Structures are given as C-alpha cells and as structure tokens.
C-alpha cells in the first residue's frame, strides 16, 4: 500500500505543478498542459519544416500555412492546418525544439501572424524537400527556399489552380 500511496502523491504533485504552469509563456509558447497558441503552432511548422536554415525558408513555410488557412478546403486555424495528419513533419506539434532555431522561428512567426508573406510563394499551398522529383504534371514550382521547393497544384490543361 505504501508504494501505491507514493505513486498517488507524485501524480498529485505533478498535476499541481502542471496546472500552475498553465499561464506561463516562453517565446510565445505555452508551458504546461494548455492548448498551443497560434504562434507556437506556426513556430513549430517553420522550425521543423525549414531545416532551421534561414528566415527566408521559415517565411516561405509560414506563407504556405497561411495560404492553407485562408482556403475553405483547410482548417480555419494555424494549429488546425499544422496539425493535419500527414501534411507536415511527423511530431511537428510534440517534438522538442532544441536549438537556437526556435528563437528565429519565434521572430518569423510573429511577422507572419502580423501579415508578412514571402512574395515568391504566391498562392502555393504545398512544398517538399528540395531535389526530389515526382511524376505528376500538376505541380507548378514557384520557389526554392530553406531546403524546400514550393509549388502550386494546377490543372495541366487549363493552368487553373486546383
């Protein structure tokens, strides 16, 4: 019974600690068990998808997130877009950000959420690792930045966005 009591006490202490951290924030990230802010979701997408290579690459990724958010076919929130299954890096919303790239991601996320966009991305809603090629004829490439190639999906016959 003693081991069981110790486990319950530890669990209670962890729950109290987590609830007390609920209002804390660092670089715009919620610490504790609360829901992630739009800024944190944007930071995470840019951090994990741009290879933390440059502000330019992060801005391009952020622009894609916002292009999707503004399209009725996608969720209406940054976290909804970033959290869509099989759309962004695995674990994008749960893996730790472990280097100084998080600081740059925080700065660029703030800019994107205030309206900054990468002009080269245009209306693109998709990207993949630079250097990969796929046999589809509806991928219209518009930019390479941050280790990624950004593209619009277009009807090959009419040239209209899909």
Q: How far apart are CA 48 and CA 125, in angstroms?
A: 17
Q: Do 1 and 44 share a structural domain? A: no
Q: Do 20 and 51 share a structural domain? A: no
Measure Cα distances from 115 to 62, 72, 106, 108 in Å: 10, 19, 15, 11
Residue 99 has a pLDDT of 86
Backbone angles phi, psi at 80, to 5 degrees: -65, -45
Q: Do 62 and 9 share a structural domain? A: no
Domain ranges, residue 119: 35-153
Q: Do 41 and 26 share a structural domain? A: no
Q: Is residue 161 part of a domain?
A: no
- Please state the domain count of the chain: 2
Q: How far apart are CA 97 and CA 90, in angstroms?
A: 13
Q: Is residue 160 part of a domain?
A: no
Q: Do 122 and 133 share a structural domain? A: yes
Q: Is residue 107 part of a domain?
A: yes
Q: Is residue 162 part of a domain?
A: no
Q: Give CA angle at 92 (110, 42), nearest 5°.
A: 15
Q: How far apart are CA 138 and CA 152, in angstroms?
A: 8
Q: How far apart are CA 122 and CA 101, in angstroms?
A: 25
Q: Do 69 and 44 share a structural domain? A: yes
Q: Do 44 and 26 share a structural domain? A: no
Q: Do 49 and 29 share a structural domain? A: no
Q: Is residue 138 part of a domain?
A: yes
* Buried-exposed string 140-155: b where 16+ CB fall within 10 A, e elsewhere: bebbebbbbbbbbebe
Q: Do 124 and 79 share a structural domain? A: yes
| Ordered per-residue pLDDT tens for the chain, 162 residues | 455 444 444 443 343 333 333 333 344 444 443 489 999 999 999 999 987 779 999 999 999 999 999 999 999 999 999 999 999 999 999 999 988 899 999 999 999 999 999 999 999 999 999 999 898 999 999 999 999 999 999 988 888 888
CATH of the domain at 129: 1.10.10.2520
Q: Do 89 and 109 share a structural domain? A: yes
Q: Which helix (H) or strand (E) covers residue 152, if one does?
A: strand 148-153
Model-level pTM?
0.78
Q: Do 1 and 60 share a structural domain? A: no
Q: Do 114 and 62 share a structural domain? A: yes
Q: How far apart are CA 90 and CA 107, in angstroms?
A: 23
Q: Are strands 148-153 and 126-129 parallel, antiparallel or unpaired?
A: antiparallel
Residue 22 has a pLDDT of 34
Residue 138 has a pLDDT of 93
């Amino acid at each position: 019974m003693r081991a069981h009591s110790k486990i319950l006490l530890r669990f209670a202490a962890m729950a109290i600690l987590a609830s007390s951290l609920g209002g804390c924030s660092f670089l715009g990230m919620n610490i504790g068990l609360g829901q992630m802010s739009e800024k944190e979701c944007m930071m995470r997408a840019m951090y994990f998808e741009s290879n933390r290579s440059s502000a330019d690459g992060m801005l391009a990724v952020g622009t894609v997130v916002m292009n999707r958010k503004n399209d009725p076919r996608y969720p209406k929130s940054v976290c909804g877009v970033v959290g869509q299954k099989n759309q962004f890096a695995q674990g994008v919303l749960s893996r730790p950000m472990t280097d100084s790239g998080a600081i740059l991601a925080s700065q660029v996320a703030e800019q994107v959420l205030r309206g900054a966009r990468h002009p080269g991305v245009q209306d693109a809603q998709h990207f993949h690792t630079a250097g990969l090629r796929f046999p589809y004829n509806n991928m219209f490439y518009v930019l390479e930045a941050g280790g990624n190639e950004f593209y619009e999906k277009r009807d090959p016959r009419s040239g209209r966005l899909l």
